[in-house]
Structure 1
Amino acid sequence: MKIFTKDQIYAGDELTAKKQNISATDLMERAGIEIFNWLHRRMQGAQVPIHVFCGIGNNGGDGLVVARHLITHGYNVHTYVVNCSTKRSKDFLINYDRIKNVTKEWPTLLDCKEDFPAINENDIIVDAVFGIGINRPVGEWVKGLFNHFKDSKAYTLSVDVPSGLHTDQVPSDPETVVSASHTLSFQTPKLVFFLPETANYTEQWEVLDIGLDPGYLVETQTEAELIGKNEVLPLYKPREKFSHKGTFGHSLIIGGSYGKIGAVTLASKAALVSGAGKVTAYLPKCGYTILQSSLPEAMVITDANEEYLTNITFDITPTVIGIGVGMGTEERTIKAFTKFLKTTKTPLVIDADAINCLAKSKETLKLLPAFSVLTPHPKELERLIGKWSDDFDKLKKTKAFSKKYNVIIVLKGANTITVYKEKLFVNTTGNPGLATAGTGDVLTGVLTGLISQGYEPLIAAIFGVYLHGRAADVIIEDFGYQSLTASDVINGIAGAYLDLFSPPEPQETNPTQEDETSKSNDKGQRKK
């Protein structure tokens, strides 16, 4: 699913109105009806007080459409206009007149001075104060109103985006943004739903199709894409009947040091389970017995040194190399790694201490083969690209780094984002159980195993991140978040593959229940 910017959405609105021969007011009516339908399916006429707060721009116009339809269907509605400016949009004014024609209780004008309306915990708030076009600071009274929403503990439904949240920057003051229970986003999710500093402003989100021009949606290129099952299924490569282990390549996992041989074991097993034809582990001598006994399917090559790597040489020809897990940053290891980079042309997956080695000796970055895949956690990323001021600055610097060195960066987190030059691929799988030691090593093995099978590095990164998260999802019911281990995630990879081809679950027939096909985001997603 594409993630459109606000300017692209505006362009889509304009083109849709032109091609469908409708007005902007008609498109607003369509959007507002979709919000109303969502509420109506769930409430079925329940007389819970609904407080609709509208701004005086187009988002407020959406809110007035919602309120009007709730009123005409007999709901207990209280409509308010946050009247802090004289700059009312044309479509807001049209819908303000329309709502006055269906009720004797006209919207209450809040002049941003008086006390806040009473809201009880069991009430519902519809937040339509500001939309994606917010272009001015939130005033103190409105800030207080948003805190009033939060203090009431009422269920808060935001229209398109939580009010006060910009689509392209992190709020300087968290209290100037509505804390939404649920956000109904028009046509596309917003990138801010997936970034650590902004995702917490909505507990869940869904996309509502408001009928923007299909050609525009298909043809428009976006910076960001949301990666789910529908996006990765076409990436899958089925196996031919007469294939053999040589068909699926030879993965080499390099790493380990005294006390950290488990990292190589996890990565090697994950490479095998994800489908590599053969796997060899290269590690210091202290890991030989451990690897041979714990993973009999893998072959082992050892360094001359007992406790850490000092000279990375081998007489095999691997298809791909995953390097860095548990490797350490001893001076001799860094020298061996640098020497290795000067001679290798093999595709690389670079993780953990290999990234730290690069950061300690940044002149080695120019030695990276094109399309190398780097999988840093936040601190490792900081060592590579420097400090960032916020999540948008982090993405900007990561894109610049990717472009400069022609590499793929996997930003691990609750919604792992794969970055290649100017493109962002936002993952949707995974859960908090992945916040445990070794899951990053497993990811390295999965990516290495996919490249081994012939997946292009960028495709392997996108697909592998999805599989890794989905493996945790399919197995979590048996373990719970707290008890999940990295080895469990490896055991879930088979289920993740099978899940690609499983039929969708039956639709829930009770209209008061959540739509099973909706796009939603659980606030407690994974962190690695």
Structure 2
Amino acid sequence: MKLYSAKQIYKADQISIKKEEIGSNELMERAALQLFNWMHLRMQGAPVKIHLFCGIGNNGGDGIALARHLVDHGYNVEVYVVNYSEKRSKDFLINLDRLKDRKVWPHFMNSDDELPQIGGEDIIVDGIFGIGLNRTPDEWVVKIIQHLNNSKAFILSIDIPSGLFTDQGPDNFQAIIKSNYVLSFQTPKLVFFLPETGTFIEQWEVLDIGLDPEYLRVTETDYELIGKNEVLTMYKPREKYGHKGTYGHSLIIGGSYGKIGSVCLSSRAALHAGSGLVTSFVPKIGYSILQTSLPEVMVLTDTDENELTDIKFNLEPSVIGVGVGIGTSEVTIKALSSFLKSNKLPLVIDADALNILSKNKALLKDLSEDSILTPHPKELERLIGNWKDDFEKLAKVKEFSKKYKCIVVIKGAHTIIVHGEKGYVNTTGNPGMATAGSGDVLTGIITGLRAQGYPALDAAIFGVYLHGRSGDIAVESTGFQSLTASHLIANLAGAFIDLFKMPEPPEVEKENQQN
């Protein structure tokens, strides 16, 4: 699913209006009807009080039009217009007149007005600001936003939480509505998935308001949302006459005294991801551990007992995953440096290998093309430097990706895979995956997919999706707190099988929930 910018959505509006030969107010009416239908289906005329807070632009116009439909169906409605400017959009005024025709008179709120009382059992519909907001609201409007956030009422936002910018980071985190639910027109927004701003949205849903499908189809976006439909096209089925050599050879290089477990996790994950062969290259201390715990994995060792000092091997793997548990001692840095200078094979780079690169940035030019880097937030900061907000972070990662011709997997609640100018936002995963070894498993999965011939970008996107989906399946039986990295590997088979599961019909799903 494409994630459109505010500018692209505005253009889609204009093209739709022109092609369909309709007025902009008719498009607004279409949006308001979708909002009303969504609410009415769930509320069925429930006697709850609905407070609609509307701005004076088109987002407020959507709210005013929604209020009219709610009034027509007998809902208990109070309408407030946050009068933050003398300028009013044309469509806002049209819908304001239509509301007044029904003898409904909104409360126009100004800077010196008292804040209305809102009960904890009430519903707030937030339509103060839309996707066009590009500056922090005035202080008196911020106080209204804070009043709504503190009300304990359920908050439903129209298109985007008011105060949240669409294509830039916030200036004032106190000036943003904390939405329980966002009904986003046509597409979700990138800010719904970023660490700084995603906290303002508990749940979201897309409402199709019929924007021009041709424009939406041909328009390229900087970011895409990745779900099952997107990764299904990447999946490579097994061949009937294939053998272990058909599906590649993964080499996992890592480990040091006390950190051999990370290599075990990565190696096992590569096997479960489908790699035909897996070899682990570890210090001597890891030999017995791997031979005992993973009989399917071959083992090569360094000459040193406790750490990697000389990375040399007599085989030619399909791909190399390097970095898990290796530490950052001087001898290991020297060994990794020498290895990178001579290596021409595809790489997946994680953990301490990333930290070594960040301290020795000259080594970045030695990476083979389309290397996949998988940093967590602190590792990323060491690689690219500080950032003021998530948008600057993404811009820096794009520059880094282009400069070093690599793919960067920004690990987080919604992991984002960056390749050049393009970003791919993952939708799977859960808080239970914030556990030791989870990243080692991801390294192994991506390495295993790359070994099977998946292009680097597909391996990164598909690997991140499977990793998160495995976590989602696992957490159903473990809960968040008890989920471990080993559970992720154990449920990877379920993640593959789930790719081809058809969704249950609504009546079956409802019956299962009742049982």
Q: Tell me which interval the TM-score lies in, with the shorter structure as reference length.
A: over 0.9
User: Are the counterparts in 2 of residues 17 and 24 from structure 1 also a CA contact under 8 Å?
Assistant: yes
Partner residue in 2 for 1:410: 409
CA distance in 2 between partners of 1:22 and 1:66 (Å): 19
CA distance in 2 between partners of 1:63 and 1:509 (Å): 35
User: Are the counterparts in 1 of residues 54 and 80 from structure 2 also a CA contact under 8 Å?
Assistant: yes
**Displacement, 1:360?**
1.6
**Displacement, 1:505?**
2.5
Partner residue in 2 for 1:46: 46
Partner residue in 1 for 2:186: 187
User: Are the counterparts in 1 of residues 347 and 372 from structure 2 also a CA contact under 8 Å?
Assistant: yes
CA distance in 2 between partners of 1:359 and 1:143 (Å): 41
- SS of 2:354's equivalent? helix
Corresponding letter in the other structure for 2:210: G
Q: When the two structures are superposed, what TM-score results if normalisation uses the length of structure 1?
A: 0.95
Change (3 A) 1:260 1:121: same
Partner residue in 2 for 1:6: 6
Instruction: Map residues 259-298 of structure 1 onto 2, 5 A cutoff.
Output: 259-298=258-297
Change (3 A) 1:50 1:276: same
**Displacement, 1:509?**
9.4
CA distance in 1 between partners of 2:31 and 2:170 (Å): 26
Partner residue in 1 for 2:133: 134
Corresponding letter in the other structure for 1:8: Q
Partner residue in 2 for 1:124: 123
- SS of 1:482's equivalent? coil
Partner residue in 2 for 1:33: 33
Instruction: Map residues 140-151 of structure 1 onto 2, 5 A cutoff.
Output: 140-151=139-150
**Displacement, 1:234?**
1.0
CA distance in 1 between partners of 2:466 and 2:405 (Å): 24
**Displacement, 1:428?**
0.4
Deviations 1:342-377 (A, max 9, x none): 111100000001111111211110000110000001
Partner residue in 1 for 2:391: 392
User: Are the counterparts in 1 of residues 28 and 61 from structure 2 also a CA contact under 8 Å?
Assistant: yes
CA distance in 1 between partners of 2:232 and 2:190 (Å): 23
**Displacement, 1:125?**
0.4
- SS of 2:479's equivalent? helix
User: Are the counterparts in 1 of residues 473 and 495 from structure 2 also a CA contact under 8 Å?
Assistant: yes
Change (3 A) 1:107 1:215: same
Partner residue in 2 for 1:375: 374
Change (3 A) 1:466 1:130: same
- SS of 1:152's equivalent? coil
Deviations 1:295-352 (A, max 9, x none): 0000000000000000000000100000000011111111111111111110000000
Corresponding letter in the other structure for 2:101: N
Corresponding letter in the other structure for 1:40: H
Instruction: Map residues 456-475 of structure 1 onto 2, 5 A cutoff.
Output: 456-475=455-474
Partner residue in 1 for 2:59: 59
Partner residue in 2 for 1:88: 88
- SS of 1:281's equivalent? strand
CA distance in 1 between partners of 2:6 and 2:324 (Å): 40
- SS of 1:280's equivalent? strand
- SS of 1:481's equivalent? coil
Corresponding letter in the other structure for 1:6: A
CA distance in 2 between partners of 1:191 and 1:116 (Å): 32
CA distance in 2 between partners of 1:443 and 1:135 (Å): 37
**Displacement, 1:47?**
1.4
Q: Does 1:223 align with 2:222?
A: yes
**Displacement, 1:136?**
3.5
Q: Does 1:489 align with 2:488?
A: yes
Deviations 1:112-170 (A, max 9, x none): 31101111000000000000101343112211111111121000000000001001222
Partner residue in 2 for 1:506: 505
CA distance in 2 between partners of 1:489 and 1:39 (Å): 37
Deviations 1:38-79 (A, max 9, x none): 100000011100011110000000001100000011111111
CA distance in 2 between partners of 1:417 and 1:506 (Å): 32
Partner residue in 2 for 1:107: 106
User: Are the counterparts in 1 of residues 34 and 207 from structure 2 also a CA contact under 8 Å?
Assistant: yes
**Displacement, 1:508?**
5.7
CA distance in 1 between partners of 2:414 and 2:507 (Å): 27
CA distance in 1 between partners of 2:26 and 2:33 (Å): 11
CA distance in 1 between partners of 2:302 and 2:247 (Å): 26
User: Are the counterparts in 2 of residues 417 and 426 from structure 1 also a CA contact under 8 Å?
Assistant: yes
**Displacement, 1:293?**
0.2
Partner residue in 1 for 2:171: 172
Change (3 A) 1:510 1:468: closer
CA distance in 2 between partners of 1:434 and 1:341 (Å): 31
CA distance in 2 between partners of 1:82 and 1:330 (Å): 60
**Displacement, 1:510?**
11
User: Are the counterparts in 1 of residues 136 and 172 from structure 2 also a CA contact under 8 Å?
Assistant: no
CA distance in 1 between partners of 2:115 and 2:273 (Å): 57
**Displacement, 1:105?**
2.7
Corresponding letter in the other structure for 1:364: L
Partner residue in 1 for 2:433: 434
CA distance in 1 between partners of 2:198 and 2:442 (Å): 23
CA distance in 2 between partners of 1:364 and 1:50 (Å): 60
Change (3 A) 1:410 1:134: same
CA distance in 1 between partners of 2:350 and 2:508 (Å): 46
Ranges in structure 2 where 5+ consecutive residues have no aligned partner: none
User: Are the counterparts in 2 of residues 159 and 184 from structure 1 also a CA contact under 8 Å?
Assistant: yes
Aligned residue pairs, count: 511
CA distance in 2 between partners of 1:404 and 1:327 (Å): 26
Partner residue in 1 for 2:453: 454
Partner residue in 1 for 2:237: 238
Q: When the two structures are superposed, what TM-score results if normalisation uses the length of structure 2?
A: 0.98
CA distance in 1 between partners of 2:129 and 2:359 (Å): 46
- SS of 1:122's equivalent? coil
What's the Cα RMSD here? 1.3
Q: Does 1:156 align with 2:155?
A: yes
Partner residue in 2 for 1:301: 300
**Displacement, 1:171?**
1.7
User: Are the counterparts in 2 of residues 126 and 156 from structure 1 also a CA contact under 8 Å?
Assistant: yes
User: Are the counterparts in 1 of residues 446 and 459 from structure 2 also a CA contact under 8 Å?
Assistant: yes
User: Are the counterparts in 2 of residues 377 and 412 from structure 1 also a CA contact under 8 Å?
Assistant: yes
User: Are the counterparts in 2 of residues 82 and 112 from structure 1 also a CA contact under 8 Å?
Assistant: no
- SS of 1:168's equivalent? coil
CA distance in 2 between partners of 1:149 and 1:389 (Å): 28
CA distance in 2 between partners of 1:311 and 1:29 (Å): 69
Corresponding letter in the other structure for 2:209: I
- SS of 2:233's equivalent? helix
